[in-house]
Structure 1
Amino acid sequence: MGSRSGDRSSPQKIFIGGLHKDTTNTEFNSHFGKYGEITDSVIMRDRNTGLPRGFGFITFADPSVVDKVIEDTHIFNGKQVEIKRTIPKGAGGNQSKDFKTKKIFVGGIPSSVTEDELKEFFAKYGTIVEHQIIRDHQTNRSRGFGFVIFDSEEVVDELLSKGNMIDMADTKRLLYL
């Protein structure tokens, strides 16, 4: 009815980052299914290798469930994951103001991009306090996503007012709070 297929965000949708590579769809759905009815779920995989990229999305039937999920600590295979609300594309204006954060998630980072390059790219938007590309613990390879923390919430508001895709190294990036 009101939802469009393929939309990456809605009030009942969450981003889960830092998933252990061995997390199965069954474990994923079973864990989050305890909170309420799931209408959609996905663990993102590399298009070329089919290997998990370390993050995914869950959409609940009831948006009020999201608050409870975000309050709790979630551990998969001994590893704590990070839960964030998704932000609608082009959610500038009043909508993004509801999320007050200095931290963004950056997905789809090419393995060739270094942490210094990540910082340099986002420094043009504002002062960066912390930045990190998440790496595989055993191989130290980039897992294709990371986080940037700015010194002010206004920087994030301004960045998201332009939409949640930015071009970096000829590839589109998704930004989530």
Structure 2
Amino acid sequence: MEDMKKRKLGDSAADDDVSTVEELRTLLDPLAKPQLVDLLAKLGSQYPSIADEIRSIASADPVHRKLFVRGLAWNTTSETLCDAFRVHGEIEEGAVIYDKATGKSRGYGFITYKHMDSTQKALKAPSKLIDGRLAVCNLACEGLSGTSTTPDLAQRKLYIGGLSPEVTSEMLLNFFARHGDIEEGSVAYDKDSNESRGFGFVTYKTVESAKKAIDDPQKTLGGRNLIVKLADSHKGRTMQAQLPAAMAPMSLPMAGGYPQPGKAYANTASVGYGYPQNMVYPDSSYPSPPTASAPYAMQNQVPYAQQVALKKDSFGLPSTTPMGMGGYPYYIPKQ
């Protein structure tokens, strides 16, 4: 009889240990995303059924099946793009993105596979030569990031200048592939004419390969000597060279009474070259010019402005006299 009571008590205690879905949601809701990820990963590694459920849910979400493909040639079509990626699995959707105004390719597109496994296969071989251009892909949710956000990118990406118009992207990649595996690279083409702009870029997978390409004395391709340097250093030099041209000249207000072209002068008006007292300076901290005192005593002397007003040239206009040092007029003694 006592054994039966103990068994019933044990069964009721076991029932109390089983949590409902609502209770579990209440416990999981305050947890941060990293905590939930760690929890599910741990459970999935211990229980195959949970791992299968995680894969099923993840595969249903397009975020794990959609690729962003950049570096496409201007003449690459959606059909050509899909043909290049169909080798990894069945494609649900794929398209090149075109500019609405011009109708021309914007140089990138998207590929969505039907299965997540196909996406993973494509990511293991992210670089593909399509229409003579080395296109690169990564998950669309990463956008322009992915492999290009690695800290050593500045040491792996090279600027290649002095290219012959006949050099194609494929020729460029084949020439520099002797130094190591290339992650991304292409000749820069004009969007309108689709002609080479005489330079390109090559991104190696390792810094060592990039250094070999820079140090290699044999840099002749298409009958021309190439310029090979880090892309960031070339970009910085270009920006510095363009800086002076971008600076707009600053116009300062003219002094009061200063003769301005195209204006007539009244015979009775005094024309002076006084320092502009109401000038507005770009920097408010710049002090306003003080009113200067006469360099020496003005006894028996006539101020310059009055002297000029008295003197007339052959056209009936006030004559001019050179300025003194510091921008102040000379004083002319009385005759």
TM range (shorter): 0.3 to 0.5
The structure with more radius of gyration: 2
TM-score by length of 1: 0.47
Q: Which has the higher contact order (CA 8 A, sep 6+)?
A: 1
TM-score by length of 2: 0.26
